[in-house]
C-alpha cells in the first residue's frame, strides 16, 4: 500500500470530462491552471450557440420592413454592432439582444455584441449567454481570435464549425470574480484611451 500512496502524491493534476457516460482525459487540452474557485468548462455548456443561415436572397432588401440582417462583419465596430442597411422579410436565424456575434467564415474570429434582435447569415454565429455575463464572453472570445484563425479549415473560404465554437474551453470564475475582472478590463481600456 505505501507504494500506491507515493504514486498518488507524485501524480500531477489531471482533468476529465464526462462524454456519453464515459470519463475522457482532457489534460492535454488545458492551456493553464486556474485559481481554486474557478473551473474549466465548454462554451456550449454555458451558452446557446446559433449558427447563421442565410435567408432567400429575394427576401433581403434595404427597405426597412422585416428583421435587420447581418451576413458577416460589414457592420461590426470595435465592440458594439452597428445598424445594418439590409433587412429580410423571411428571417431564418434570429438571435436575441445581448448575444456575442462571432465571424465563423473568412475573416474568422472577429467578435461584436448586438444590443438588438437580428437575423444572422452563414458568416456569423451567435453566442447567447445563459449563466454568464455577455461582456465576459465577449472578452474571452476576443482573446481567442488567433486560436480560431488557426483552427479554421477550407480552401476557398476558411471557416470554423459549430462544434469548434461550442467546444471551446472556457475558464469559469465565480460571478463576483467575473464582475471584478470586467472592472479591471474597463479601467485599463479607459486608461489606454487617455494615453492615446
Instruction: State the residue range of the domain holding 56.
Output: 32-191
Share of the chain above pLDDT 70, in %: 94
Contacts of 58 (CB under 8 A, 6+ apart): none
Here the contacts of 28-36 (C-beta below 8 Å, separation 24 or greater) are: 29/169, 30/169, 31/169, 34/171, 35/173
> The whole model's pTM is what?
0.85
Q: What is the pLDDT of residue 124?
A: 98
In a domain? residue 26: no
Q: Which three cell numbers stand for residue 53?
A: 443561415
Domain count within the chain: 1
Task: For residues 83 and 86, give the distance between their C-alpha atoms in angstroms, rounded to a whole number.
Answer: 9
CATH label of the domain that carries residue 166: 3.90.220.20
Q: Which three cell numbers stand for residue 3?
A: 507504494
Task: Identify which of 64, 53, 51, 50 has the alpha carbon closest to the alpha carbon of residue 91.
Answer: 53
Q: What is the pLDDT of residue 194?
A: 87
Indicate the average pLDDT of the chain. 89
For the stretch 28-65, pLDDT in tens is: 998 988 888 999 999 999 999 999 999 999 999 998 88
For residue 164, pLDDT over 60 is answered with: yes
- Per the model's pLDDT, the better-predicted residue between 196 and 170 turns out to be 170
Q: What is the pLDDT of residue 105?
A: 93
In a domain? residue 1: no
In a domain? residue 7: no
For residue 10, pLDDT over 70 is answered with: no
- Per the model's pLDDT, the better-predicted residue between 8 and 69 turns out to be 69
Angle, helices 175-195/134-143, rounded to nearest 10 degrees:
60
For the stretch 74-111, pLDDT in tens is: 999 999 999 999 999 999 999 999 999 999 998 899 99
The order of strands in the sheet holding 99-103 is 47-51, 124-129, 99-103, 111-114
Place of cell 476558411: 158
In a domain? residue 15: no
In a domain? residue 146: yes
For residue 121, pLDDT over 60 is answered with: yes
Q: What is the pLDDT of residue 172?
A: 92
Task: Identify which of 182, 30, 23 has the alpha carbon closest to the alpha carbon of residue 13.
Answer: 30
In a domain? residue 114: yes
Mean per-residue pLDDT, 116-137: 94
Strand ranges, E, within the chain:
16-19, 22-25, 39-42, 47-51, 60-61, 67-70, 87-88, 94-95, 99-103, 111-114, 118-120, 124-129, 169-172
Q: What is the pLDDT of residue 7?
A: 28
Q: Which of 10-14, 37-41, 180-184 is least confident?
A: 10-14
In a domain? residue 162: yes
In a domain? residue 118: yes
Mean per-residue pLDDT, 158-187: 92
Q: What is the pLDDT of residue 3?
A: 30
Q: What is the pLDDT of residue 12?
A: 58
Amino acid at each position: 500500500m505505501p507504494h500506491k500512496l507515493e504514486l498518488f502524491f507524485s501524480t500531477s493534476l489531471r482533468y476529465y470530462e464526462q462524454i456519453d457516460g464515459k470519463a475522457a482525459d482532457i489534460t492535454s487540452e488545458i492551456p493553464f491552471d486556474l485559481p481554486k474557485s474557478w473551473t474549466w468548462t465548454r462554451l456550449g455548456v454555458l451558452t446557446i450557440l446559433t449558427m447563421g443561415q442565410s435567408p432567400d436572397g429575394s427576401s433581403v432588401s434595404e427597405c426597412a420592413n422585416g428583421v435587420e440582417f447581418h451576413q458577416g462583419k460589414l457592420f461590426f465596430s470595435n465592440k458594439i454592432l452597428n445598424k445594418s442597411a439590409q433587412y429580410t422579410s423571411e428571417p431564418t436565424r434570429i438571435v436575441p439582444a445581448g448575444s456575442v456575434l462571432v465571424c465563423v467564415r473568412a475573416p474568422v474570429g472577429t467578435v461584436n455584441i448586438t444590443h438588438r434582435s437580428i437575423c444572422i447569415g452563414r458568416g456569423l454565429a451567435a453566442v447567447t449567454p445563459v449563466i454568464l455575463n455577455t461582456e465576459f464572453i465577449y472578452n474571452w472570445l476576443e482573446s481567442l481570435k488567433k486560436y480560431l484563425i488557426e483552427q479554421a479549415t477550407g480552401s476557398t473560404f476558411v471557416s470554423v464549425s459549430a462544434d469548434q465554437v461550442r467546444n471551446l474551453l472556457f475558464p469559469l470564475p465565480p460571478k463576483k470574480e467575473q464582475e471584478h475582472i470586467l472592472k479591471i478590463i474597463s479601467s485599463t481600456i479607459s486608461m489606454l484611451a487617455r494615453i492615446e
